[in-house]
Each structure stands twice: as structure tokens, then as C-alpha cells.
Structure 1
Amino acid sequence: MNKVIFHIVQSELLRALQLVSRTVVANNPVPILSGIYVSAELQQLMLIAGNAVSRIQYRIPVERNGCEIVQPGSVVVPAKYLLEWVRKLPPGVVTFEVSSAFLVTVRSGAAVCRIGGMNPEDYPSTPEKTAVYPAFRISNEALKRAIQQVAFAVSTSESRPVLTGVHCQVSNTALRLSASDSIRLAIGQAPIQRESETDAEVPPFIVPGKVLYDFSKMIPDTKEMTRIVVCSQQIRLQTEQLEAHLMLLLGTYPSVDRIIPSEFATEMVVSTSGFLEAIERVTLMSGEGNPVKLDSTCAKTVQFASRTAEIGEVFEEVPVRDLSGEAVSVCFNGKYMTDIVRAIDSTHLAVRFSGKSSPILLQPAGCPDSQYLLTPIRTHA
């Protein structure tokens, strides 16, 4: 005879499954890690999923969003089948039952599905929770924005593993994030609140870029705070209902500050949207593999151009609000520049040049906390 474990509204269960299933790897060599650990406790429903580098826990309090625990218990359910079945259920209350042989029955009205579950005692335990360094908090909004403003620049090549991560530095007042693929560099910052007045420092750490970006998409768009605890080999991030354990990358991240230019031959301020739209159009017509050339020979506009054998030539002009210094002519990868400008959340953009072969520095106008570098493409022209 089956025992009822819990009842829950379909939309809330679906949301929880969608969040935790992000960490489930298809065809995981450890079969139980292809499942979601479902634990009905007296005061909450807990869903857990993970892989070798990350683990996500989502908590649903009882008597909230239609969640009612009838009898405590736990089971591991194959993630793919459970998610797809719940996704296709109509709105309403879902009943979740488990038999003594770990047979899971999920029903909603006349719709009934039975899935073979797994023994929850075989599921790996939660990673260590011992805090090694002082905890701190960041607003959800600021953390989400800071991650998404730099994560695009991480490397996808495993030749230098540390560059596939986001480098994090904690001061008394801010968390600084850096990411680079050796061609682009993105630096962002978010204010923090320390939980204690201790002088103990949190050493720099590196979080896998893809994993951190995926977590940023799970952070709720609320004014609440995310609590962050850095341990020896992992970082733990906690919101009201969500908890993520992310393994850290080992290694030494290159010093990025030394490559940021301090003197500039040319500086301009342009409309961010106008600059972005022009680069997107030129890149679209010329193709991502062809360089885009920027010229600032006119005091009122900046010109973009690209030439291909298949299409011919493409030209764009963008008005310049402020321009000082020498005329500049430089070539760059249009897609890489597009990625940078899309990440800049500001009406106007400051673009600075130190020379034809030196990195181009881009910043939101009037905001020194965010910095972006792009290495130009050398040409024979």
C-alpha cells in the first residue's frame, strides 16, 4: 500500500524541479546523480540535485504555495521523467506518493504516472558546511547583475583551466569579479555587507564561470540578500529558498590589473545603444570572422567599416557626445565587442584608446567600478 508523502501546487513543484534539474548531467556515470533527491520533512519540502562541480537545494516551506506534508519520507527520482511529467500536468494540486519499494506515483486529477525511484540513502551527502572564512551578504539584484556583466568573458578552452572561471576578490565593502579569455577582460563589482567586524580576510577564489552564470539565472528577482560563505574548496550561496554549493577551481589567476592602461591617447563618450546597434549591424553583414574597423577622424562621429569578398563593404556612423585626443584607427572582433557592450548597463559609454595595438578600455560613463578590455586585431593596413 502506498503512503502519501505530500501534496503541492503544480506550478510550485515545476518551478522547484526546473531550478534543481539544471545541475543534473545526462548519462551521469553515477546513476543516482541522474536523479533528484526529494525529501518531505515536517516543516518543509526539500529538493536536491547535483554533479561533480555543483549542488543545488531548493526549500519549500509547508503551508506555502499549496505545500502540505502528510507523512515525512524521501526518495530519489530520475530527473528527466519527473520534470517532463510535472511540466505537462494541468494546473492544480499534485499528489506525490512512494511505496516501500521506492515506486513513485505522481498524480493530478485523472492523470497518474508511476516512476521507479532509488534509495535515498545511496545519494551523496551534502558537502561540508564548515565556514573557513567570514560570511558576507550581497543583494540579489547586485549579485545577479555583477555575475552576468562578466561571465560572458570566461574562456571556453581547457588549455588554461583557471580562465574558465570567474576570479573573485572580497574587500571590506565589495566583491570584485574578473573574467578573461586572454582577448577580453571584464571586471565588475557589487557592494557587500560583512556579517561580523572581524579583520580576517577572505582570500581570492575562482568559481567555474558556467556554473556561476547558471546560478545567477536562479537568483530570485527580489530585494532580499544572498548569503555567501567561502570554504577551502567550495563556495556556498544561500537565498531564502535556494542554496548552491559550487566547487572552486584550483590555481593562480593571472594579475589583470597590470594590463589595464593608465594613460590614453584618445577618449570618447557615446550612446551605448547607438554604439551597440551600429556594431551589431556591421558584424551581421560582414560576418563574425571579419574585423570591424573603427575610425575617429571626425570630431562629431565615429565610423565603423568592414570589408568582405562575398558582400563588399559595410559602413556605419555613430554620433559622439565627447571626443578628445588624437584621431584613432583600430580593428577589433565585432562579436567580442558586441558581447562587451551588451553587458554594460548605462546610457552612455566611455571608450578609451592607448594606441593601435593596446587594449581598448570600455566603461559605463561615470562608473569606474566596471571595466572592460578588448585586444585589437593587428592588420597590415
Structure 2
Amino acid sequence: MKIECSVEKIKNAISQTERVTGKNLTLPVLNSILFIAVNRHLKLRATNLSLGVEIEVPAKVEKEGVVAVSGAVLNAMFSNFSHNESIHLEDKGGNLLVRTNKSQITLKGQSHEDFPTIPIVSGRTFEIDSKKLTEGIKSVYYSSSVSDIKPEISSVFVYTNGDNLIFVSTDSFRLAEKKIKIKGVEDITGIIIPWKNVVEILRILGEVSGVVKVCFNKNQISFSVDNIYLTSRVIDGIFPDYRQIIPKDFSTEIVVLKQDLLNALKLSNVFSDKFNQVNLVVDPKQKIFELSSMNNDVGENKTRVDAVLKGESTELGFNYKYFLDCLQSITTDSVSIKMSGTGRPMVISAVSDPSFTYLIMPMNK
């Protein structure tokens, strides 16, 4: 292999692929990024066996070839190169010779023959704008369980209902659902994508624009856009029937400005206990909407927030972090909070935007 290319283009590709490299003692080549020089492109591949990525960058290819080099070392090295430099890469007996105007470096290579293939997924396909796809994922992924005990909820669940592509995640204490309008997609009963993979998919696709081609089957899902190809395994399991726990009738309703609520939550956080508990008191007759928190080592806080209140008086405790998390998914100025009594989940949504729904289970006092 012998090529010349722009530092700027390859630097970004290395940063993207290095995060996907695996840390596997039994298969050390997973720590590597695979360089493939072919035609007028340099392909960079990385995989951890659950998630794989391939990114193409334009290059002047004098000699085609393949070499595998440590992703961490590559990323650290390229972070010290200027964007506007040109770089020469050459395979020297399985090692990688790197030359710039001021530096000459030899990186120890690994046996590229041991590098796993990244599957080309075949199956059902649909297309979606990258911004819509990342909006759907970003709106819910933080609610996923991060434990591997129940892999089906350590995930983002994707399915269709009419013209909506619906993204859902839950950790059993809270649940987020985001509906994205999309046309021309046949019925999708459910795809369960591992949470760890979703984080990297969001990071990589969040930097691109254009139409993403999505292809999936019962084992894999892939995302193709511009010069990027991503593939992830799909969890073989059944996502909980979450729709049955969403209350349909409510006894108390609150409408509050998002910024006022955010400020009150952040203040309550200062005085919350080790369980992050904040208590909420609603009394529509007295026009009281109050957040309170107490920490024996810090002090106590009670903050009233201006709001429009309807229905019955109620009190409940909740994890303030769960509430803060969901506000990033609400783009309107006002937030709707609905409750249906003690011990029942609190439902949060954007005023005049039914596309996002968020549930928080109350905490015991």
C-alpha cells in the first residue's frame, strides 16, 4: 500500500472509527483500524464484533494494499498533525510508514488477515433524512437501561405506526417515546438496537447530512450515507409492551415554562439526597406548584414555580435527573405535566407537540 491524502479528511475518519475499535484480549486485531487502499479511496474499517464502521476518504493511490494499525495510537498521533498538511502512508512489511513535511513515523502493524469482515446487510430497506434519524435516537436513548441483565431494555426500540417511525427506550423507572413523521416505510414490527451501539451510531451520524439508507433483518441493521457505512447487531428479544402503562386519564395537569422548571430543578438538585429525590406539590385551588428537596448535610429548599394548574391536589417524589434528561428533548417553550394520582407515573410532553412522550415513575417518600 502506498497513498497520499489530506490530513483533515483522514483525521476525522480515524476519530470516528477509533471509538468503535474493540478491546479484546483474545482477538487483539480488534484494537486496530484496517486501512484498505483501493481505486482512488482509502477505506478505514473498525469493529468490536457488535458494531462495525467503514468510512471512505479520497486519496491518491499509488499502490493498493491493506494494513492494520492500532486505532488508539493512530488517533493520538493524528491529533498532533495540522489539518492543512498532506500525508503519505506506506505499507512496510506489515508496518505503516507515515510521512509528513516534518515527521517520519513507523507504526507497528498487526496481522490484517485476522481482521473480521464487516457484514453487508441484506433485507428490508427504507430511507430517512439523517437529521430525522438522529432526532429520533437523541430524543430517547438516554432513558435506556445501561445494565446487560435485561438486554432487551438496554436498547432503543424502533417500529412504525402509520406514517410514524417511533423510537422508544426505558430502564423501568422512566420511558421516552419519540414519533418521527416518515413516508413510504412498510410496517416495521420492531427493531431492538443495543444501547452501546446506539451511542456510537448517534455520534457518527450526528456529523453528517443527507439521506440515510437503512437496511435490516432479524440479526443486523445497517446505515449508509455518503462515505459512511455502519452496521450493528440487533437484539433477539421482545421489548416490553410499554403502551399499556401510559395513563389515558389524568386527575392533575400542569403547564409551565420550560426554563422556569429547569431553573427550579437545578436549584432543587443542590439540596437533593443521595437518591436524587425531589418532591413535587400541586394544589390547583391554592395555585401552588412547588418543588422541594432536603439533604441532612446541606440543607433544605422549597421553590414555587408559576404555572397553569388544573384538577386535583397531589404530591409525589421523583428523581430530578430523570426530569432534567427529558427537557433536552422538548423544543417548545412550555412543558405539560400530567398526573393520575399517587403511585402512578407522571407524563411529560411538549405543549402543542404530541410527538414526544416521557414517563417518570414516582419514588417512595
Scaled to the shorter chain, the TM-score interval is over 0.9
Ranges in structure 2 where 5+ consecutive residues have no aligned partner: none
CA–CA separation in structure 1 for the residues paired with 2:297 and 2:217: 54
Q: Name 1:315's counterpart in structure 2.
A: 302
CA–CA separation in structure 1 for the residues paired with 2:287 and 2:130: 40
- Does 2:254 match 1:268? yes
CA–CA separation in structure 2 for the residues paired with 1:209 and 1:140: 19
Q: Name 2:35's counterpart in structure 1.
A: 38
Q: Name 2:131's counterpart in structure 1.
A: 141
Ranges in structure 1 where 5+ consecutive residues have no aligned partner: none
Residue type of the alignment partner of 2:342: K
CA–CA separation in structure 2 for the residues paired with 1:345 and 1:250: 34
CA–CA separation in structure 1 for the residues paired with 2:177 and 2:320: 20
Residue type of the alignment partner of 1:209: W
Contact 1:291 1:377 in 2 (8 A): yes
Q: Name 1:210's counterpart in structure 2.
A: 196
5 Å-filtered alignment, 1:183-194, equals 183-194=173-184
Moved beyond 6 Å, runs of 4+: none
Q: Name 1:305's counterpart in structure 2.
A: 292
Question: What TM-score results when the alignment is normalised by the length of structure 1?
Answer: 0.90
Residue type of the alignment partner of 2:107: I
Say how many residue pairs are matched.
Answer: 363
Shift in CA distance, 80/290, structure 1 to aligned 2, threshold 3 Å: closer
5 Å-filtered alignment, 1:19-34, equals 19-34=16-31
Query: What SS does the corresponding residue of 1:250 show, helix, strand or coil?
Result: coil
Question: What TM-score results when the alignment is normalised by the length of structure 2?
Answer: 0.94
Shift in CA distance, 56/137, structure 1 to aligned 2, threshold 3 Å: same
Worse-superposed segment, 226-235 or 171-180: 171-180
Q: How far off its partner does 1:269 sit?
A: 1.1
Q: How far off its partner does 1:367 sit?
A: 1.6
Q: Name 1:95's counterpart in structure 2.
A: 88
Residue type of the alignment partner of 1:267: E
Query: What SS does the corresponding residue of 2:352 show, helix, strand or coil?
Result: coil
RMSD: 1.8
User: 1:200-236, CA deviations, whole angstroms, 9 ceiling, x for partnerless residues?
Assistant: 6433110011211221111145551111111120100
User: 1:56-91, CA deviations, whole angstroms, 9 ceiling, x for partnerless residues?
Assistant: 11112x3xxxx3222221111111111211111233
Q: Name 2:362's counterpart in structure 1.
A: 376
5 Å-filtered alignment, 1:35-114, equals 35-60=32-57, 62=58, 67-91=59-83, 92-99=85-92, 101-114=93-106
User: 1:223-259, CA deviations, whole angstroms, 9 ceiling, x for partnerless residues?
Assistant: 5111111112010011112111000111111100000
- Does 2:6 match 1:9? yes
Shift in CA distance, 316/221, structure 1 to aligned 2, threshold 3 Å: same
Identity of aligned residues (%): 22
Worse-superposed segment, 303-312 or 244-253: 303-312
Q: 1:329 aligns with which of 310, 315, 321?
A: 315
Q: Name 1:127's counterpart in structure 2.
A: 119
Shift in CA distance, 170/230, structure 1 to aligned 2, threshold 3 Å: farther
Query: What SS does the corresponding residue of 1:296 show, helix, strand or coil?
Result: strand
Contact 1:49 1:55 in 2 (8 A): yes
CA–CA separation in structure 2 for the residues paired with 1:139 and 1:188: 16
Q: 1:175 aligns with which of 160, 165, 181?
A: 165
Query: What SS does the corresponding residue of 2:271 show, helix, strand or coil?
Result: helix
Query: What SS does the corresponding residue of 2:363 show, helix, strand or coil?
Result: coil
Q: How far off its partner does 1:171 sit?
A: 4.1
